[in-house]
């Protein structure tokens, strides 16, 4: 398979989005976030393109202004706010960095790497924003224009940076001996913060295996939707089964009756949950009252409430084993407990977690309805 890093990333976030974008090739207009990000990436390239003199702050701001596309914004206020933010980012960048101090090796560097065993090769392609020569080695930098900054732990395990480093090493194979001096960084432009890490050869191998795993999933044509906060930025909402009903014009059936049923279901579910909370609250009060009165049943004009005791038991595993093992029945009562497995999963190494994930198969499937009430 030939696939770009960004497509792999899309599949990992939402397989259905991958299908719309890569397989069905459904075009969507560029979002304002993407337009903003592209403009800043262009400026960064301009700032660091090697020349006799590095551009001044004024020249960088002018470049940004020329690259700016106001058409994608919903209102002039929104557009002005975004433009000012872009200018602030560039000013902040100049305050923290002197472009003349960097030894740039490559900008917007295209790559293609091959991964996988000889009989199952795949090509991953992508673009590295910037590669610098540093005093001790090299630094690979990717600019981010997202609002949210990840933790250092995420950067330490970021797949994008690993694949970029792998691409760098395929171009400069001798540098593998110097791997601890090869820095990989994400520069969060909105925050003016750069988070850096290094990788080991073993981590790169693990990363490659994870990619192979994603590719295998893609090849099995599993394209389930995955609803996350990222849906807010997805251009496929109007054709996605998780969202398209929101758009009245895409509904096949839009009768008064069905709309009433939907509203009624939401209201009933919400009433049930309010009732459950209230029940728990008054149950507590009645139990206290029973203790004070020293009674096990209380009488009201609508009926009687009785206290019942429900006990849950667990078995002494050692004793049970001693009884069942001689009868050859011990193995047959052992079954995998999903909750326990999830609890210990955090303590397991990544490779084991991935193997456990691969061992997962669908047991039973049933459909139910979940309600998310609008905040009024």
Which positions touch ligand SF4 (CB under 6 A)? 14, 16-17, 225-227, 230-231, 234, 236-237, 240, 242-243
Nearest approach, Cβ of residue 151 and ligand SF4 (Å): 23
- For ligand SF4, the closer of residues 21 and 157 by Cβ is 21
Rg (CA), the chain: 29
Using alpha carbons, list the distances in angstroms from residue 267 to 93, 273, 298, 367, 376: 51, 10, 32, 20, 13
Residue with tokens 């089964």: 241
Residues with Cβ within 8 Å of 211's Cβ and at least 6 positions away in sequence, in order, are 8, 115, 122, 124, 159, 163
Nearest approach, Cβ of residue 169 and ligand SF4 (Å): 32
Q: Three-class SS string for 73-131? A: CCCHHHHHHHHHHHHHHHHHHHHHCCHHHCEEEEEEEEEEEEECCCCCCEEEEEEEEEE
Nearest approach, Cβ of residue 157 and ligand SF4 (Å): 22
Nearest approach, Cβ of residue 200 and ligand SF4 (Å): 33
- For ligand SF4, the closer of residues 5 and 18 by Cβ is 18
The 3-state DSSP class for residue 134 equals coil
Using alpha carbons, list the distances in angstroms from residue 168 to 10, 106, 112, 215: 22, 11, 10, 21
- For ligand SF4, the closer of residues 1 and 231 by Cβ is 231
Contact by Cβ (8 Å): 9, 126? no
Nearest approach, Cβ of residue 142 and ligand SF4 (Å): 22
Nearest approach, Cβ of residue 335 and ligand SF4 (Å): 33
Residues with Cβ within 8 Å of 283's Cβ and at least 6 positions away in sequence, in order, are none
User: Residue 6's Cα: distance from chain center in Å?
Assistant: 13
Nearest approach, Cβ of residue 23 and ligand SF4 (Å): 12
- For ligand SF4, the closer of residues 38 and 226 by Cβ is 226
- For ligand SF4, the closer of residues 44 and 240 by Cβ is 240
Residue with tokens 């020569």: 133
Nearest approach, Cβ of residue 148 and ligand SF4 (Å): 16
- For ligand SF4, the closer of residues 29 and 346 by Cβ is 29
- For ligand SF4, the closer of residues 149 and 242 by Cβ is 242
- For ligand SF4, the closer of residues 25 and 310 by Cβ is 25
d(CA 317, CA 323): 10
Using alpha carbons, list the distances in angstroms from residue 56 to 60, 81, 83, 84, 99: 6, 23, 19, 18, 9
């Amino acid at each position: 398979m030939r696939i770009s890093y960004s497509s792999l990333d899309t599949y990992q976030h939402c397989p259905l989005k991958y299908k719309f974008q890569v397989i069905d090739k459904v075009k969507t207009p560029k979002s304002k976030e993407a337009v903003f990000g592209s403009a800043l990436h262009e400026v960064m390239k301009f700032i660091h393109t090697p020349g006799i003199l590095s551009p001044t702050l004024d020249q960088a701001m002018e470049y940004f202004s020329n690259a700016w596309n106001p058409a994608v914004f919903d209102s002039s206020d929104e557009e002005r706010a975004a433009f000012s933010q872009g200018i602030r980012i560039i000013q902040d960048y100049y305050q923290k960095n002197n472009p003349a101090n960097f030894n740039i090796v490559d900008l917007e560097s295209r790559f293609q790497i091959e991964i996988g065993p000889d009989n199952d090769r795949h090509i991953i392609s992508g673009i590295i924003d910037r590669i610098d020569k540093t005093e001790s080695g090299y630094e690979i930098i990717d600019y981010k224009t997202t609002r949210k900054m990840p933790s250092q732990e995420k950067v330490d395990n970021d797949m994008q940076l690993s694949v970029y480093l792998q691409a760098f090493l395929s171009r400069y194979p001798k540098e593998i001996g110097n791997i601890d001096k090869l820095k990989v960084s994400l520069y969060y432009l909105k925050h003016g913060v750069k988070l850096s890490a290094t990788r080991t050869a073993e981590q790169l191998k693990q990363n490659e295996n994870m990619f192979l795993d994603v590719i295998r999933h893609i090849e099995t044509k599993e394209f389930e939707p995955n609803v996350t906060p990222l849906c807010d930025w997805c251009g496929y909402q109007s054709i996605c089964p998780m969202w398209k009903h929101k758009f009245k014009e895409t509904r096949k059936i839009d009768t008064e009756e069905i709309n009433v049923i939907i509203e009624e279901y939401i209201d009933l579910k919400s009433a049930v949950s309010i009732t459950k909370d209230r029940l728990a609250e008054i149950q507590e009060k009645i139990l206290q009252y029973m203790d004070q009165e020293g009674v096990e049943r209380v009488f009201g004009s609508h009926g009687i409430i009785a206290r019942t005791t429900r006990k849950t038991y667990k078995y002494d595993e050692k004793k049970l084993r001693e009884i069942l093992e001689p009868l050859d029945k011990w193995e047959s009562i052992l079954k995998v407990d999903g909750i326990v497995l999830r609890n210990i999963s955090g303590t397991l190494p990544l490779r084991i977690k991935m193997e456990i994930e691969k061992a997962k198969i669908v047991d039973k499937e049933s459909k139910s309805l979940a309600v998310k009430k609008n905040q009024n």
